[in-house]
Structure 1
Amino acid sequence: MMPSEHYSQMSLVFRAYFGQDFDLFGNTIPEIVSCYKKDNPQERHNELINEINYFMDEHPNDLDSTFETKYGAEFDPALWGHTTASFLNELNRLLNE
Structure 2
Amino acid sequence: MNYENLYQLICGRFHEDFDLFGNTIEELVLSFTRECTPEEINATVTDIDRFKGDHAGNLDTAFEEQFGRQFDPTLWGHTTESFLDELKRLLLSE
Q: TM-score, normalised by structure 2?
A: 0.95
Equivalent residues, number? 93
Cα distance in structure 2, aligned partners of 1:77 and 1:66: 13
Match of 1:81 in 2: 77
Q: TM-score, normalised by structure 1?
A: 0.92
2:13 aligns with one of 4, 13, 17: 17
Gaps in structure 2 of 5+ consecutive residues:
none
Cα distance in structure 2, aligned partners of 1:45 and 1:24: 21
Match of 2:67 in 1: 71
Cα drift, residue 14 of structure 1: 1.4
> RMSD across aligned C-alpha pairs, in angstroms?
0.8
Fraction of identical pairs, as percent: 43
If asked which structure has higher relative contact order (CA below 8 Å, sep 6+), I would say 2
Match of 1:56 in 2: 52
1:44 aligns with one of 40, 44, 47: 40
Cα distance in structure 2, aligned partners of 1:24 and 1:9: 20
Gaps in structure 1 of 5+ consecutive residues:
none
Cα drift, residue 6 of structure 1: 1.1
Amino acid at match of 2:75: L
What's the CA shift string for 1:32-80, capped at 9, x where partnerless?
Answer: 1111110111111001000000000111110000000010000000011
SS at match of 1:85: helix
